[in-house]
Amino acid sequence: MASAKYIFVTGGVTSSLGKGIIASSLGNLLQARGYKVTIQKFDPYINVDPGTLNPYEHGECYVTDDGAETDLDLGHYERFLNTPTSQANNVTTGRIYYDVITKERRGDYLGKTVQVIPHITDEIKRNFFRLGETGDYDFVITEIGGCVGDIESLPFIEAVRQARWDVGENNCLVIHLTLIPYLKAAKELKTKPTQHSVKQLLEAGIQPDILVCRSEKPLPNDIRKKLALFCNVQLNSVIEALDADTIYDVPLLMRKEKLDERVLSKLRLPSKGEPQIDDWREFLGRLKNPTNEVDIALVGKYVELPDAYKSIAEAFIHAGAHLACKVNVHWISSETINNKSVHRILKDMDGVLVAPGFGERGIEGKIEAIRYVRENSIPFFGICLGMQCAVVEFARNVLGFTDAASTELNPETEHPVIGLMEDQKSIEDYGGTMRLGAYDCKVSKPSKVYSAYGSAKISERHRHRYEFNSQYLKEFEDAGMKAVGTNPESNLVEIIEIPEHPYFVGTQFHPELKSTVMKPHPLFVSFIAAIVKNNKN
């Protein structure tokens, strides 16, 4: 076993307490002390990965450089730590069983009966330790999805129990994130649900080392003492996690509660002085004291669930803070937009982003929104399907191909300006078969995109099947829509731009996936900067 320390984060009482944010905040503080950290998530559902899930289920699907389709918490890990994750950082029950069953079919178990313990738990542990064994990390933080007590997370919890023995006491700890509800009528914070959830962990053989307690109100000392006594943890290991203004406040709240110090002392590691969090504080300062304000419409089809566009929303926060500009994102369902309503809906917007997506619903609304912003010189940014819709709109209304479409939506069109690549045509499976992960892109100058990146060679992440149909490229370019980013190997069009427009950019890739607090994405920064400039004119 390599020298990495393993921290497991479990959840109790209810889901949605923000295990991902707590894990990310702790990772951030340890990193700020000079330690190398990675965070991984183990999800109890049976899908092999979240790529086939509807965004209404668990929010957006986050894509890593190596093309893994993963849980959106990996986005938080990257945004907080500013280091990339990979397939190894997200494992589901489905993947564990898939791998065990594949081994069984291959005869690897030599005739043994294959069982949850030890075969499934061994496979889980192999994955727990995989990143630690690379020698690249001092800490591997593992977030266990779901709540303790759920039937489906039992094998993960059992594997955590075993893992403690495998790596030894000083190399492993368990943080339990729980809720301390406040009962208004009684004017009291209640510890009982936490006591019960810790009991459930104890039944599974796990004594949590640290309790992180989500609460709307500060935890008075008597409540902390009660939690320590009944849950069998040290008083200073009861950590308060108050509701915060933004998720980016949480590292500072955890610092105040000394979560990082407790972790280091329990794992017998030196504190290496104070964590270097000045840059983070500066970011928060700019975020909270903006000097400008803009209104941006996010036109999409899953707008009732903001988690479906998590990375886009966060990218606006990073880029907005960078420019000390408050970005008010207005979530607009593309289904409400048509030729009659478009002016009313978009007239007060300073800029419009058309979101990624799949399928037919809401497409015509997206195209109508794009016509409106193109004709009215309102800054526009289209991502993936948003870029494809911009191409279709231009083909219909500028090139005059009235039936132009993407073949995803109209396979019979005479003008398939967006179509399938040859190597996608024969694919029948839905899981993991899109164009996924990081690809290089060559950016041509002069262009707004080049000025934004300040570089001709970039790499961005993809998740789509359909592409710009290069047979039409000349006609588009002659009419004023330029391909300013192309794949250096396949020549596929990755970025389009209308140079004559104040800001009209569409990307086939997903820039939002690479935006972090410390490295806001250049295209989000340039989009907001263009809006600010446009508003001044």
Binding-site ranges for ligand GLN (CB under 6 A): 356-358, 384-385, 408, 463-466
Tell me how far apart the terminal alpha carbons of the chain are, to the nearest angstrom: 62
Complex with ligand GLN: residue 62 or 283, whichever CB lies closer: 62
The span from the CA of 69 to the CA of 64, in Å, is: 7
Phi, psi (deg, nearest 5) at residue 506: -130, 135
Closest contact distance (angstroms) between CB of 120 and ligand GLN is 33
DSSP 13: S
What is the nearest approach in angstroms of ligand GLN to the Cβ of residue 477?
Answer: 22
Token reading at 308? 């479906």
Min dist. Cβ of residue 132 to ligand GLN (A): 33
Minimum CB distance to ligand GLN, residue 463 (Å): 5
Instruction: Provide, rounded to whole angstroms, the least separation between the CB of residue 383 and ligand GLN.
Output: 7
- Identify how many contiguous H helices and E strands the chain contains and give both numbers: 18, 23
Query: Within 10 A of 222 (CB to CB), how many other CB atoms are there?
Result: 9
- 189/434 with CB nearer ligand GLN: 434
Name which of 44 and 55 has its Cβ closer to ligand GLN: 55
Q: Is 84 helix (H, G, I), strand (E, B) or coil?
A: coil
Q: Are residues 63 and 70 in contact, defined by beta-carbon separation less than 8 angstroms?
A: yes
Burial string for 412-449 (b: 16+ CB within 10 Å, else e) reads ebebbbbbbeeeeeeeeeeeeebbbbbbebbbeeebbb
Read off the tokens for 361.
């619903």
**Catalytic residue of the set 123, 158, 467, 512:** 512
Known catalytic membership, residue 512: yes
Least separation in angstroms between residue 360's CB and ligand GLN is: 10
Closer Cβ to ligand GLN, 97 or 358, answer by number? 358
Q: How far is the CB of 497 from ligand GLN (least distance, A)?
A: 18
Choice among 61, 147, 384, 389 that is catalytic: 384
In 355-501, at which residue ranges do the beta strands (DSSP E only) sit?
A: 380-383, 405-406, 416-420, 435-443, 457-464, 466-468, 482-486, 493-497
Strands 182-183 and 188-189, sheet pairing = antiparallel
The packing angle between helices 259-266 and 19-31, to 10°, is 70
Q: How far is the CB of 418 from ligand GLN (least distance, A)?
A: 7
For residue 187, the surrounding DSSP H or E stretch is none
- Residue whose CB is less far from ligand GLN, 55 or 145: 55
In terms of CB distance, is 18 or 357 closer to ligand GLN?
357
| Cross-strand bridge partners of residue 172 | 6
Give one word for 454, left, alpha or beta, with left for phi > 0 and alpha for psi -120 to 50. left
Catalytic site residue from 76, 176, 501, 510: 510
Amino acid identity, position 31: Q
Measured from the CB atom, the residue of 285 and 432 that comes closer to ligand GLN is: 432
Active-site annotation holds for 61: no
384 among known catalytic residues = yes
Cβ-based nearer residue to ligand GLN, 44 or 506:
506
> Coil, strand or helix: which one is 186?
coil
Name the burial class of residue 534, with classes exposed (0-12), middle (13-18) and buried (19+) by CB atoms within 10 angstroms of its CB. middle
CA-CA-CA-CA dihedral for 220, 222, 227, 232, to nearest 10:
130
Residues classed as catalytic: 384, 510, 512
